[in-house]
Amino acid sequence: MNFLARFIAVSVVAIGLLIIGAKADAQEIAVGVHTVSHHTKGSYFDHEAGVDRKFNDTNPGVYLMVSAEDKTSYSSITVGAYKNSVWKTTAYASLGFGVKVAEPIAVGVQVGFGTGYNKSFGYEGSFVPVGGVVLTAKLTDKINGNVVFVPPIKKDTAGVVHLTLDHKF
């Protein structure tokens, strides 16, 4: 991992911990699962293999999230891994920020970096940006359902709708 990648990784974790520490009265830990996705295009051009491939819409994975919230907003730091849309394993770290719209709904953004997409989409280096808009529905006191909207980031990528579930401890 080069210096810039390490610096970015450490910075994201440090900023997340500072934000969550600022809301220390309401910290929570959650474990979540990645499930399925739907893409706005059916296939992508794999730069590494030089061929068109069908996107993978089954994306099993797990994540650990530490979050803090107050009456109107939340912040989080998340690390996890899943089988991504280009049939590879992604490991990622991200920060989340959002607002509670109306109980039980919150809307926010998740931004960070991940592995596993770089060569397929023609990127150089180990990490690519990851993130999207997150719509969260509180299903029970401990379980949230999340719909993540990821916009296309390059001309040969697709937009994605991804579903996750998490359980707070």
Share above pLDDT 90 across residues of the chain, in percent, rounded to a whole number? 49
User: What pLDDT shows up at residue 129?
Assistant: 82
Q: Is 39 helix (H, G, I), strand (E, B) or coil?
A: strand
Q: Where are the alpha helices (DSSP H) in 23-71?
A: none
Is 6 in a helix, a strand, or coil? helix
When the pLDDT of each residue in the chain is averaged and rounded to a whole number, the result is 84
| ∠ Cα 41 106 77 (to 5°) | 80
| pLDDT tens digits, 83-140 | 998 888 999 999 999 999 998 999 999 999 888 876 666 566 678 888 899 999 999 9
Specify the CATH number for the domain of residue 153: 2.40.160.20
E-strand ranges in 70-141 read: 73-83, 89-102, 105-114, 128-138
124, 104 contact by CB (below 8 A):
no
Determine the structural domain holding residue 38 and report its residue range. Answer: 3-168
Burial label for 123, CB within 10 Å (0-12, 13-18, 19+), is middle
- Over the stretch 49-91, which tens digit does the pLDDT of each residue have? 888 889 999 999 999 999 988 888 999 999 999 999 888 899 9
Q: How many domains are there within the chain?
A: 1
Could you read off the pLDDT of 41-52 as tens digits, one per residue?
Answer: 988 887 778 888
- Mean pLDDT to the nearest integer, 144-148: 98
- Decide if pLDDT at 24 tops 80: no
In sign, the C-alpha dihedral spanning 43, 44, 50, 53 is negative
